[in-house]
Structure 1
Protein backbone atom coordinates (compact mmCIF):
# COMPACT_ATOMS: atom_id res chain seq x y z
CA UNK A 1 0.00 0.00 0.00
CA UNK A 2 1.06 3.62 -0.04
CA UNK A 3 0.53 6.65 2.16
CA UNK A 4 -2.05 8.06 -0.24
CA UNK A 5 -3.98 4.82 -0.49
CA UNK A 6 -3.97 4.41 3.30
CA UNK A 7 -5.09 8.01 3.79
CA UNK A 8 -8.00 7.69 1.39
CA UNK A 9 -8.98 4.30 2.83
CA UNK A 10 -8.92 5.57 6.43
CA UNK A 11 -10.76 8.77 5.53
CA UNK A 12 -13.47 6.79 3.75
CA UNK A 13 -13.64 4.25 6.57
CA UNK A 14 -14.27 7.10 9.00
CA UNK A 15 -16.88 8.62 6.66
CA UNK A 16 -15.00 11.91 6.41
CA UNK A 17 -14.84 13.98 3.22
CA UNK A 18 -11.69 15.77 2.11
CA UNK A 19 -13.42 19.03 3.00
CA UNK A 20 -14.11 17.86 6.53
CA UNK A 21 -10.58 16.48 6.91
CA UNK A 22 -9.27 19.83 5.69
CA UNK A 23 -11.14 21.61 8.49
CA UNK A 24 -10.10 19.06 11.11
CA UNK A 25 -6.42 18.92 10.13
CA UNK A 26 -5.78 22.48 8.99
CA UNK A 27 -4.48 21.37 5.58
CA UNK A 28 -6.00 22.52 2.31
CA UNK A 29 -8.22 20.26 0.27
CA UNK A 30 -5.79 20.51 -2.63
CA UNK A 31 -2.87 19.39 -0.43
CA UNK A 32 -4.89 16.46 0.93
CA UNK A 33 -5.80 15.51 -2.63
CA UNK A 34 -2.12 15.54 -3.62
CA UNK A 35 -1.31 13.35 -0.61
CA UNK A 36 -4.02 10.86 -1.55
CA UNK A 37 -2.63 10.69 -5.08
CA UNK A 38 0.91 10.14 -3.70
CA UNK A 39 2.09 13.32 -5.38
CA UNK A 40 3.45 14.71 -2.10
CA UNK A 41 5.41 13.05 0.69
CA UNK A 42 4.31 14.26 4.12
CA UNK A 43 6.67 14.72 7.04
CA UNK A 44 6.00 13.12 10.42
CA UNK A 45 4.28 16.17 11.91
CA UNK A 46 1.86 16.21 8.95
CA UNK A 47 1.12 12.52 9.46
CA UNK A 48 0.56 13.13 13.17
CA UNK A 49 -1.89 16.00 12.50
CA UNK A 50 -3.82 14.00 9.92
CA UNK A 51 -3.98 10.95 12.20
CA UNK A 52 -5.19 13.14 15.07
CA UNK A 53 -7.88 14.58 12.80
CA UNK A 54 -8.94 11.07 11.79
CA UNK A 55 -8.64 9.80 15.39
CA UNK A 56 -6.32 7.00 14.28
CA UNK A 57 -3.09 6.05 16.09
CA UNK A 58 -0.05 6.97 14.00
CA UNK A 59 1.38 3.47 14.43
CA UNK A 60 -1.77 1.87 12.95
CA UNK A 61 -1.76 4.33 10.06
CA UNK A 62 1.91 3.70 9.31
CA UNK A 63 1.25 -0.04 9.34
CA UNK A 64 -1.63 0.38 6.89
CA UNK A 65 0.57 2.52 4.63
CA UNK A 66 3.43 -0.01 4.68
CA UNK A 67 4.41 -1.94 1.60
CA UNK A 68 5.68 -5.53 1.40
CA UNK A 69 9.32 -4.48 1.77
CA UNK A 70 8.47 -2.71 5.04
CA UNK A 71 6.79 -5.82 6.42
CA UNK A 72 9.58 -8.38 5.94
CA UNK A 73 9.14 -11.23 8.38
CA UNK A 74 5.35 -10.93 8.42
CA UNK A 75 3.43 -13.23 6.13
CA UNK A 76 1.09 -11.72 3.56
CA UNK A 77 -1.81 -13.47 5.27
CA UNK A 78 -0.95 -12.02 8.69
CA UNK A 79 -0.51 -8.54 7.21
CA UNK A 80 -3.94 -8.79 5.57
CA UNK A 81 -5.54 -10.01 8.80
CA UNK A 82 -3.95 -7.20 10.81
CA UNK A 83 -5.05 -4.61 8.24
CA UNK A 84 -8.60 -5.96 8.23
CA UNK A 85 -8.72 -5.95 12.02
CA UNK A 86 -7.46 -2.36 12.14
CA UNK A 87 -10.11 -1.28 9.63
CA UNK A 88 -12.85 -3.10 11.58
CA UNK A 89 -11.74 -1.39 14.79
CA UNK A 90 -11.86 1.99 13.05
CA UNK A 91 -15.34 1.18 11.76
CA UNK A 92 -16.50 0.19 15.25
CA UNK A 93 -14.95 3.35 16.69
CA UNK A 94 -16.75 5.49 14.11
CA UNK A 95 -20.05 3.72 14.81
CA UNK A 96 -19.62 4.29 18.54
CA UNK A 97 -18.79 7.95 17.98
CA UNK A 98 -21.94 8.39 15.86
CA UNK A 99 -24.07 6.76 18.57
CA UNK A 100 -22.78 9.17 21.22
CA UNK A 101 -23.56 12.30 19.18
Structure 2
Protein backbone atom coordinates (compact mmCIF):
# COMPACT_ATOMS: atom_id res chain seq x y z
CA UNK A 1 0.00 0.00 0.00
CA UNK A 2 1.16 3.48 -0.80
CA UNK A 3 -1.15 5.69 1.24
CA UNK A 4 1.05 8.74 0.67
CA UNK A 5 0.83 8.52 -3.10
CA UNK A 6 -2.96 8.09 -3.00
CA UNK A 7 -3.35 10.95 -0.54
CA UNK A 8 -1.28 13.30 -2.66
CA UNK A 9 -3.07 12.29 -5.87
CA UNK A 10 -6.54 12.67 -4.39
CA UNK A 11 -5.80 15.89 -2.56
CA UNK A 12 -4.35 17.58 -5.64
CA UNK A 13 -7.09 16.20 -7.89
CA UNK A 14 -9.67 17.68 -5.52
CA UNK A 15 -7.81 21.00 -5.62
CA UNK A 16 -7.23 21.00 -1.87
CA UNK A 17 -4.21 22.41 -0.12
CA UNK A 18 -2.76 20.58 2.85
CA UNK A 19 -3.99 23.46 4.99
CA UNK A 20 -7.58 23.10 3.80
CA UNK A 21 -7.55 19.31 4.10
CA UNK A 22 -6.04 19.47 7.57
CA UNK A 23 -8.82 21.82 8.70
CA UNK A 24 -11.64 19.75 7.22
CA UNK A 25 -10.21 16.38 8.29
CA UNK A 26 -9.14 17.69 11.72
CA UNK A 27 -5.54 16.48 11.41
CA UNK A 28 -2.38 18.56 11.49
CA UNK A 29 -0.61 19.78 8.37
CA UNK A 30 2.61 18.17 9.60
CA UNK A 31 0.83 14.81 9.95
CA UNK A 32 -0.56 15.09 6.39
CA UNK A 33 2.93 15.90 5.14
CA UNK A 34 4.35 12.85 6.90
CA UNK A 35 1.56 10.69 5.44
CA UNK A 36 2.23 11.95 1.92
CA UNK A 37 5.95 11.29 2.39
CA UNK A 38 5.21 7.74 3.53
CA UNK A 39 6.76 8.39 6.94
CA UNK A 40 3.58 7.55 8.88
CA UNK A 41 0.98 4.83 8.57
CA UNK A 42 -2.50 6.02 9.47
CA UNK A 43 -5.07 3.79 11.12
CA UNK A 44 -8.33 3.02 9.32
CA UNK A 45 -10.21 5.60 11.36
CA UNK A 46 -7.86 8.34 10.18
CA UNK A 47 -8.08 7.15 6.57
CA UNK A 48 -11.88 7.27 6.80
CA UNK A 49 -11.71 10.75 8.33
CA UNK A 50 -9.45 12.03 5.53
CA UNK A 51 -11.55 10.37 2.82
CA UNK A 52 -14.71 11.91 4.25
CA UNK A 53 -13.05 15.33 4.25
CA UNK A 54 -12.16 14.88 0.56
CA UNK A 55 -15.58 13.38 -0.23
CA UNK A 56 -13.96 10.25 -1.66
CA UNK A 57 -15.17 6.71 -0.90
CA UNK A 58 -12.61 4.93 1.26
CA UNK A 59 -12.72 1.93 -1.07
CA UNK A 60 -11.65 4.07 -4.04
CA UNK A 61 -8.90 5.66 -1.96
CA UNK A 62 -7.63 2.26 -0.89
CA UNK A 63 -7.66 1.03 -4.49
CA UNK A 64 -5.60 4.06 -5.52
CA UNK A 65 -3.19 3.29 -2.67
CA UNK A 66 -2.80 -0.34 -3.69
CA UNK A 67 0.35 -1.74 -5.23
CA UNK A 68 0.42 -4.34 -8.02
CA UNK A 69 1.05 -7.08 -5.44
CA UNK A 70 -2.13 -6.02 -3.58
CA UNK A 71 -4.33 -6.37 -6.67
CA UNK A 72 -4.44 -10.10 -7.21
CA UNK A 73 -6.33 -10.88 -10.41
CA UNK A 74 -6.31 -7.34 -11.81
CA UNK A 75 -3.80 -6.60 -14.54
CA UNK A 76 -1.60 -3.53 -14.25
CA UNK A 77 -3.20 -2.17 -17.42
CA UNK A 78 -6.71 -2.47 -15.99
CA UNK A 79 -5.59 -1.01 -12.66
CA UNK A 80 -4.11 2.00 -14.47
CA UNK A 81 -7.34 2.54 -16.41
CA UNK A 82 -9.45 2.25 -13.25
CA UNK A 83 -7.15 4.63 -11.38
CA UNK A 84 -7.24 7.16 -14.20
CA UNK A 85 -11.04 6.95 -14.39
CA UNK A 86 -11.46 7.34 -10.63
CA UNK A 87 -9.19 10.38 -10.55
CA UNK A 88 -10.86 11.97 -13.56
CA UNK A 89 -14.27 11.70 -11.85
CA UNK A 90 -13.11 13.62 -8.79
CA UNK A 91 -14.25 17.21 -8.99
CA UNK A 92 -12.12 19.89 -7.44
CA UNK A 93 -13.59 21.13 -4.18
CA UNK A 94 -14.58 24.51 -5.67
CA UNK A 95 -16.75 22.80 -8.31
CA UNK A 96 -18.72 20.67 -5.86
CA UNK A 97 -22.28 21.70 -5.09
In the superposition, the TM-score normalised over structure 2's length comes to 0.94
User: How far 1:18 sits from its partner (Å)?
Assistant: 0.3
Gaps of 5+ in 1: none
User: How far 1:72 sits from its partner (Å)?
Assistant: 1.5
In the superposition, the TM-score normalised over structure 1's length comes to 0.90
- Greater relative contact order, per chain length (Cα 8 Å cut-off, separation 6+): 2
Partner of 2:95: 98
Partner of 1:21: 21
User: How far 1:94 sits from its partner (Å)?
Assistant: 2.9
1:89 equivalent in alignment to 2:89: yes
Q: Alignment RMSD, CA only?
A: 1.5
2:16–2:92 CA contact under 8 A, matched in 1: no
Deviating beyond 3 angstroms after TM superposition, the runs of 4 or more aligned structure 1 residues are none
Q: Across the two proteins, how many residue pairs are aligned to each other?
A: 97
| Correspondences of 1:32-71 after superposition (within 5 Å) | 32-71=32-71
Offset from partner CA, 1:50-94 (integer Å, 9 cap, x none) = 00000000000000000011001111110000001100111xx33
1:73 equivalent in alignment to 2:73: yes
- Secondary structure of 1:59 counterpart: helix
Gaps of 5+ in 2: none
C-alpha distance in 2 between matches for 1:41 and 1:73: 26
